[in-house]
Amino acid sequence: MFTKALRGLLLPAVLLLTGCQTVLMSPSGDMAVQQRDLIVASLVLMLLIVVPVIALTLFFAWRYRASNKKATYRPDWDHSTVLELLIWSAPLLIIIALGAMTWVSTHKLDPFRPLERLSQGREVPADVKPLVVEVVALDWKWLFIYPEQGIATVNELAAPVDRPIQFKITASTVMNSFFIPSLAGQIYAMPGMETKLHAVINKPGVYDGFSANYSGAGFSGMHFKFHGVSESEFEQWVVKAKQGSALNRDTYMRLEKPSENEPVTRFSSVAPDLYEAIVNLCVKPGTPCMHETMMKDAARAAQPAAGEHDMHDMANMEH
């Protein structure tokens, strides 16, 4: 009876686990691979303490149980230099190792830092330029602008395999999080700001991308497909995108309006400086751009007020 009941309890849990994916542990991009290795190494280091502590806790509970008459009873014992050294030195060494790993990886895996390698043992060729993709998080969809190719897409992203990608990321209204688990870690997209991500995909395939930060009613449908393709397939994809309509400021302002489960859309051309206008929150005609306003404010702050000049002049005359 007990065995049947146990099976009945475990079966639903096993069925639920069959839907789990391990994309974070088996990514296809070098940046995500390095992040995976960092997670695994950190976990192993911590388990060097956790596992012995759990094992010794169970051992002591069994060894010194009340029914064990052979266990030594020493009520006056209160100190052991050897135990003190073990208790303090082992965690200290692991903390030092974790700290060193964190410091190195913080700089090495900085998303703003250009890639130095394509994968383990393969450096980025000196003559290879990264593919620039400008990412805009809208409500509730993703806009991708390819400035070099002169195209744009909604909810579809493509890049050649083994070519570095430089993402420039921003948002139109609220904060989102740009995340392709197979490619690299998540990077926040914020209105009026630009964040960056350098990454590379090493295997051809179609990968899931989505927002990892709740942003309202249409959040659950804010996902897209990332296509890792060959150079020739990427050129064909660009040609296909050039068959769409133009993305000008009026089109963008209509696209910016909230919508859910937006289908894939391709634009054959993009208005000049559209992305810069999005970042500076001045797509709408007549709206002052944020960087121009900041420059004017900084210039005014650098100049003393006229009244201050007059006061200084009067003080000099009195002296």
Q: How is domain 122-288 classified at the CATH fold level?
A: Immunoglobulin-like (2.60.40)
Write the DSSP assignment of 246-301 as a string of letters: EE-HHHHHHHTS--SSPPPEEEEEE-TTHHHHHHTT--STTPPPHHHHHHHHHHHH
pLDDT in tens, 252-262: 999 999 999 99
Tokens of 210: 């989505």
Tokens of 165: 């990608």
The reported pLDDT for the residue numbered 264 is 96
Radius of gyration of the chain (CA): 29
Q: Is the separation of the CB atoms in 202 and 159 below 8 Å? A: no
Model confidence pTM above 0.75: yes
In the chain, domain spans: 23-66+80-109, 122-288
**Helices 30-63 + 81-108 axis angle, to 10:** 170
Question: Consecutive sets of 10 residues in the chain, 319 residues long: mean pLDDT of each?
Answer: 53 53 85 93 91 92 87 83 88 92 92 94 93 96 97 97 97 95 95 96 96 92 96 96 93 95 95 94 88 76 60 51
**157/207 Cα distance (integer angstroms):** 10
* 3-state class (DSSP) for residue 114: coil
Say how many residues make up the chain: 319
The reported pLDDT for the residue numbered 3 is 52
Q: CA-CA distances (angstroms) from residue 212 to 49, 183, 209? A: 32, 14, 9
